[in-house]
Amino acid sequence: MKIIICDPISPKGIALLQQRPEFQVVVLPKRLTEAELLPLVADATALVVRSETKVTKNIIAAAKQLRVVGRAGVGVDNVDIEAATQHGVVVMNTPGGNTVTTAELTFTMLLSLARKVPQAAATMIAGKWDRKLFQGVELAGKTLGVLGMGRIGTEVAKRAGCPRAVLLQRAADIDWRAFGAVGSLGVTAGASAPEVLVEEIIGAFAQRYAVSVETVSAAKEGMFFPLPRRLRESQAAE
């Protein structure tokens, strides 16, 4: 049984596969393009990928013995699921593998944002020490809005203390007027509105339920929000 490891994974995982005498484990030294990968998959039974290698319909069609694609990670956006289904190929992922890590990273970003760590670090690198400019705010007592209560969002809420977490299932459901009153200049959120908002939606759902610039602009004044990459990219494109 030939197993091709297309992207870098933990050496422990590779060693685990290599312990099985019936497995022929091929570790690719670098990410290959579709054209480069096609001649290698003809006799492959399994492909192991992360997020870089694209398992396209052409690759699946060329891999006549392919039975499974293992995604070492959460999303499977880089695998043509429809083509895999048509060819009887099982696609598996590891959705809980980085849940705690990502939840902790969320708090790293929140604390960095609240305490203005990146800005302070940049000024120190520049040889300055403007500590009065970077006092920041305390997270204690703030209301945290969690958008997307999947595995990661749930872990974030647990670490924040659920009683003070406002759980928001979808960006489309956010109506800041529910937290306060509508004034002549727009929304004036009340004291119970989220002062900190984190978004834990990935993959295809992110496109459908993403927080828009308009949503953020209508939020409570002074609210801070670790800006998702796709929102930053949309702003850059405007």
- Give the domain CATH number at 172: 3.40.50.720
**Per-residue pLDDT tens for 30-79?**
999 999 999 999 999 999 999 899 999 999 999 999 999 999 988 898 99
In the chain, DSSP finds a helix count (H) and a strand count (E) of 10, 10
Q: Do residues 169 and 185 both lie within one domain?
A: yes
Q: Do residues 18 and 105 both lie within one domain?
A: no
pTM of the complete model: 0.59
**Per-residue pLDDT tens for 14-32?**
999 999 999 999 999 999 9
Pick the last residue of a domain from 35, 60, 93.
93
Pick the last residue of a domain from 93, 109, 133.
93
Q: Is the dihedral of CA 78, 82, 87, 89 positive or negative?
A: positive
Domain that holds residue 21: 2-93
Q: Determine contact, residues 163/116, Cβ cutoff 8 Å.
A: no
Q: Is the dihedral of CA 208, 54, 59, 63 positive or negative?
A: negative
Q: Comparing 183 with 74, which gets the higher pLDDT?
A: 74
210 has pLDDT over 70:
no
Mean pLDDT along residues 204-226: 52
